[in-house]
Structure 1
Amino acid sequence: MGNKHARVGEVWYFALPVPYNTSAKPIEITEVAVEHIPVGVTMLGYGAYDLKDTEGLPLLTKKNGPHTPDFEKLKNHATKPVKVAAKTESDIFYLAEVKITTPPKGTARKCRFSYKQGGTAYTQTLDCEVELKVAK
């Protein structure tokens, strides 16, 4: 996904893949990260929000945009591990907040999820990619 009309100085949000626990045991997600952030983009942080509070998954949206949820007023579930039951898709999704500092040189990609299951820590990296291009 991407946007070709971004501007230097803007803040954008993009959703990471919605967690889906395919195993027979519950998990607790402890941390998320986008592994590759291109030059020209600064990572401001991550949040975890309920899909019901945002009326669906905001894949890519500009801060203060007309259809952007006011994430600062919503409950951020990232303050503690997010539990996902066995064989279930999470109601909570993770969001990255980035700022464009100069025209980006590439894409943000590779979403890493760290989680615990039965007392053991795991890490899984999923494909994800976001391209923000500065309008000419």
Structure 2
Amino acid sequence: MTTTVATAIRRTGSWSFTTGFAAFMHKSPRARRARSTRTRGAALLALVALSSCTSPQENHSQGDALAGPSGGAIVWNDHAKIGQSWWFALPKLRNESDSPVELIDARVLDLPKGLKVNRYAAFDSEETRGVALIFPDGDPQFPAATYKDYSKQPIKLDPGKENYIYHSVKVTVTGPVSGEASTCRFTYTQGSDRFTQDLPCRFTLSLEK
């Protein structure tokens, strides 16, 4: 069966602790020392707890090393059916920085109503014979189940290079689709630091009439 794939391109304009000591200063020296020891211990535990809560955020800085395709294209198809699954390619990335990065995650931030994420994957563009922008799941031209999934391991991207591996998302149609996806978030490491960066990734589906 032949599937018609429709795409449209639209140009756009080019992501202290304070401890009071007054209450126990009237106690005996031994009592003050014991109370002071307990107070320091409690403060230390609180500091450790605070550090464990805030350190992931401190290590998740907003990055700017990545770039995707320019032009603001939207990928879409108007022959979708409820219960059907589709694959969409996320932007193929280029490392614009002077240091290598390792991609460790990719996510769609704003999937429209009517679509549900089934899974994420990362494919080799040479194996898929180019970037597969959009395909219904099970299409013989895009046998996703036979391709190696690189998303389970860090994907290295050298300085100034475009990656030949690209991320994809498989979505399932749960009802009439309202709106479009517009933003993807990529998480990567550079040295010992971890970053997130949001990039445009516009796609949607419409139910077949």
Tell me which interval the TM-score lies in, with the shorter structure as reference length.
over 0.9
Q: Aligned residue for 1:74?
A: 147
For these two proteins, the number of residue pairs brought into alignment is 135
User: d(CA) in 1 for partners of 2:165 and 2:145?
Assistant: 16
Runs of 4+ in 1 over 3 A off after TM superposition: none
Q: Which has the higher contact order (CA 8 A, sep 6+)?
A: 1
Q: Aligned residue for 1:32?
A: 106
User: d(CA) in 1 for partners of 2:189 and 2:118?
Assistant: 25
User: d(CA) in 2 for partners of 1:107 and 1:44?
Assistant: 17
Query: Could you tell me which amino acid in structure 2 is paired with residue 104 of structure 1?
Result: V
SS for the counterpart of 1:102 is strand
Query: Could you tell me which amino acid in structure 2 is paired with residue 28 of structure 1?
Result: E
1:40-119 paired onto structure 2 within 5 Å:
40-68=114-142, 70-119=143-192
User: d(CA) in 1 for partners of 2:150 and 2:140?
Assistant: 24
Over residues 36-68 of structure 1, what are the superposed CA-to-partner deviations in whole Å (9 max), with x where a residue is unaligned? 011111101110111111000110111122422
RMSD (Å) for aligned C-alpha atoms: 0.9
- Measured after TM superposition, the shift of residue 91 of structure 1 is 1.1
Question: Within the alignment, does 1:19 sit opposite 2:76 as a pair?
Answer: no
- Measured after TM superposition, the shift of residue 88 of structure 1 is 0.3
SS for the counterpart of 2:145 is helix
User: d(CA) in 2 for partners of 1:65 and 1:49?
Assistant: 16
Query: Could you tell me which amino acid in structure 1 is paired with residue 151 of structure 2?
Result: A
Deviates more, 1:112-121 or 1:57-66: 57-66
TM-score when normalising by structure 2: 0.63
User: d(CA) in 1 for partners of 2:180 and 2:204?
Assistant: 5
Bigger CA radius of gyration = 2
Between the two proteins, what is the percent identity of the paired residues?
Answer: 33
Over residues 20-49 of structure 1, what are the superposed CA-to-partner deviations in whole Å (9 max), with x where a residue is unaligned? 101111000111000001111110111011
SS for the counterpart of 1:31 is strand
Query: Could you tell me which amino acid in structure 2 is paired with residue 130 of structure 1?
Result: F
SS for the counterpart of 2:195 is strand
Over residues 56-113 of structure 1, what are the superposed CA-to-partner deviations in whole Å (9 max), with x where a residue is unaligned? 0110111122422x11111100111111011100010000000001011111220110
Question: Within the alignment, does 1:133 sit opposite 2:201 as a pair?
Answer: no
Query: Could you tell me which amino acid in structure 1 is paired with residue 114 of structure 2?
Result: G
